[in-house]
């Protein structure tokens, strides 16, 4: 069996080498560049492809895989929204993803950012760099006095729910597909509007499907409590950036934490020579605010998660080549 793995980073390589040692019947080619219209040519002669979602998987790329008689594409990530589904079907390509590489990784970053916002750590760090070591006026708040609204109670949302309860916070949730055990506990509200109106802190944990695009918008932001908080460690397109900036300008929001951003492609995971060289004025606007925390899509980025992403995707591709099936097949 021959698998080509695209976009392999230095932090992934040790886990990939370990997987190779445990699977001596599989020949693996490591490609550090992402899968695109140029690098796809290297896939000729391979049985399967493992890749990481960052660039779109276009018709051109998928048609070329089909031309090479490659029928198996395994992603080292969850999202599949940048795949040309028609081209997948046309070329009879089976796609797998890693639906749960580490729910704890994302939930733990979410709670970290919640606590940083409540305790004004960014403001204190700025003051200290300027020699100001006074407490006032940056008085903090305590999580156990807050109602946390979790939008989406899948694996990540449920981990965050348990963490917030550990702090003593009241937790409410909305999900169109309710978890039976959580429903027995009575934590669900009836509508998204109820969640926005009742929560002090909203944490988003839903996919980037069309129905969820700009679910945080001018209307939903206006319905939130004055002095509320939003955490987005899910997908950037969930939030209308213009509406968010407007709400921050008005003082409606006490704080925001963004690990994802709707204009992040081509900006996050890039290195710019200086701050003003960042080619997104809205992002710079947000980054310069003392009540906004921006991180470049790092919620997944832990040793545990990276190891799982490599091992689960490689296992899936191997299983597809051997048997034509995997427990991680994506149903489009």
Whole-Å CA distances, 242 to 97, 217, 229: 32, 8, 16
In percent, how much of the chain has pLDDT > 90? Answer: 94
Q: Which of 158, 205, 235, 318 is catalytic?
A: 235
**DSSP helix/strand/coil, 215:** coil
Q: 31-64 pLDDT, tens per residue?
A: 999 999 999 999 999 999 999 977 889 999 999 9
Task: Name the strands in the sheet holding 201-204, side by side, starting at the edge strand that comes first in the sequence.
Answer: 170-174, 147-151, 201-204, 228-232, 253-258, 292-294
Q: What share of the chain is helix, strand, coil (3-state, %, to 5)?
A: 40, 15, 40
pLDDT of residue 121: 98
Q: Which of 12, 158, 262, 264 is catalytic?
A: 264
- Confirm whether 144 is a catalytic residue: no
pLDDT of residue 220: 97
Q: Which of 76, 158, 205, 297 is catalytic?
A: 297
91 vs 332: CA distance, rounded Å: 14
pLDDT at position 208 over 90: no
pLDDT of residue 85: 96
Among residues 259, 262, 271, the alpha carbon closest in space to that of 296 is found at 259
All residues at 6 or more sequence positions from 91 whose CB lies less than 8 Å from its CB, including other chains: 62, 63, 65, 66, 71
pLDDT at position 265 over 90: no
Q: At what angle do helices 155-166 and 103-118 cross, to 10 degrees?
A: 40
Q: 67-87 pLDDT, tens per residue?
A: 999 999 999 998 888 899 999
Q: 83-132 pLDDT, tens per residue?
A: 999 999 999 999 999 988 999 999 999 999 999 999 999 999 999 999 99
265 vs 21: CA distance, rounded Å: 34
The mean predicted confidence, pLDDT, of the chain is 96
Look up residue 112 and give its two tokens: 């970290």
pLDDT of residue 81: 82
pLDDT of residue 314: 98
Q: 137-148 pLDDT, tens per residue?
A: 999 999 999 999
Mean pLDDT, to the nearest integer, of 293-317? 97
pTM summary value: 0.90
The count of other CB atoms within 10 Å of the CB of residue 196 is 24
- Confirm whether 71 is a catalytic residue: no
All residues at 6 or more sequence positions from 322 whose CB lies less than 8 Å from its CB, including other chains: 1
Mean pLDDT, to the nearest integer, of 288-307? 97
Angle at 246 between CA 243 and CA 249, to 5 degrees: 155
pLDDT of residue 319: 98
- Confirm whether 129 is a catalytic residue: no
pLDDT of residue 78: 87
């Amino acid at each position: 069996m021959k698998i080509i793995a695209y976009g392999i980073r230095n932090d992934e390589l040790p886990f990939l080498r370990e997987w190779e040692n445990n699977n001596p019947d599989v020949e693996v080619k490591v490609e550090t560049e992402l899968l695109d219209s140029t690098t796809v040519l290297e896939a000729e002669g391979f049985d399967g492809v493992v890749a990481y979602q960052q660039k779109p998987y276009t018709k051109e790329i998928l048609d070329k895989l089909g031309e090479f008689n490659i029928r198996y594409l395994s992603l080292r990530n969850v999202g599949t929204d940048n795949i040309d589904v028609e081209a997948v079907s046309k070329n009879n390509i089976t796609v797998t993803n890693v639906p749960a590489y580490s729910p704890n990784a994302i939930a733990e970053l979410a709670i970290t950012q919640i606590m940083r916002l409540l305790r004004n750590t960014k403001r204190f760090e700025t003051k200290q760099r300027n020699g100001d070591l006074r407490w006032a006026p940056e008085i903090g708040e305590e999580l156990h006095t807050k109602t946390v609204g979790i939008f989406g109670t899948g694996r990540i949302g449920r981990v965050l729910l348990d963490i917030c309860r550990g702090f003593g916070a009241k937790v409410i949730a909305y999900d169109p597909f309710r978890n039976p055990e959580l429903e027995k506990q009575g934590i669900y509200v009836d509508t998204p509007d109820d969640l926005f109106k009742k929560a002090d802190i909203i944490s988003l944990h839903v996919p980037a499907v069309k129905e969820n695009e700009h679910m945080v918008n001018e209307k939903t932001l206006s319905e939130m409590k004055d002095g509320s908080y939003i955490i987005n460690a899910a997908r950037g397109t969930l939030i209308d950036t213009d509406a968010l900036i407007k709400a921050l300008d008005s003082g409606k929001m006490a704080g925001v934490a963004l690990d994802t951003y709707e204009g992040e492609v081509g900006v996050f995971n890039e290195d710019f020579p200086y701050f003003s060289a960042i080619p997104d004025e809205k992002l710079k606007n947000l980054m310069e605010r003392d009540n906004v925390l921006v991180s470049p899509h790092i919620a997944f980025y832990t040793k545990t998660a990276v190891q799982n992403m490599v091992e689960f995707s490689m296992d899936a591709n191997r299983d597809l080549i051997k048997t034509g099936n995997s427990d991680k097949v994506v149903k489009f």
